[in-house]
Amino acid sequence: MAALYACARSVALALVSLVPFVTGSAPWLAATACAMIVVQACDAAIGVTIEDRMKTFGPAGTALANLAALIWLSSSA
């Protein structure tokens, strides 16, 4: 059942992430990046809770990479 919720979240975020490519909207891209950072940080927190290093460091690393990209986007705009 949890996999269905994760799939629904992933499909929704994937569809939302297509909007900046169609419209060229930097603010929409920043909002999508923020949403993904929150999702990945929550995934890392779940990894800590279940004591799984791969499910902690993988999402945490991706969240940090997305945060760096968001800062880069913000500084170049």
pTM to 2 decimal places: 0.84
Q: Residue 1 pLDDT more than 80? A: no
Mean pLDDT of the chain, nearest integer: 91
Inter-residue contact 48 to 40 (CB < 8 Å) = no
Instruction: Identify the H or E element spanning 1.
Output: none
Range of the domain at 17: 2-76
Inter-residue contact 26 to 73 (CB < 8 Å) = yes
Q: Residue 77 pLDDT more than 80? A: no
When divided into structural domains, the chain yields a total of 1
Residue with tokens 């909207």: 25
Tens of pLDDT along 8-43?
778 888 888 899 989 999 999 999 999 999 999 999
Inter-residue contact 44 to 56 (CB < 8 Å) = yes
Inter-residue contact 32 to 16 (CB < 8 Å) = yes
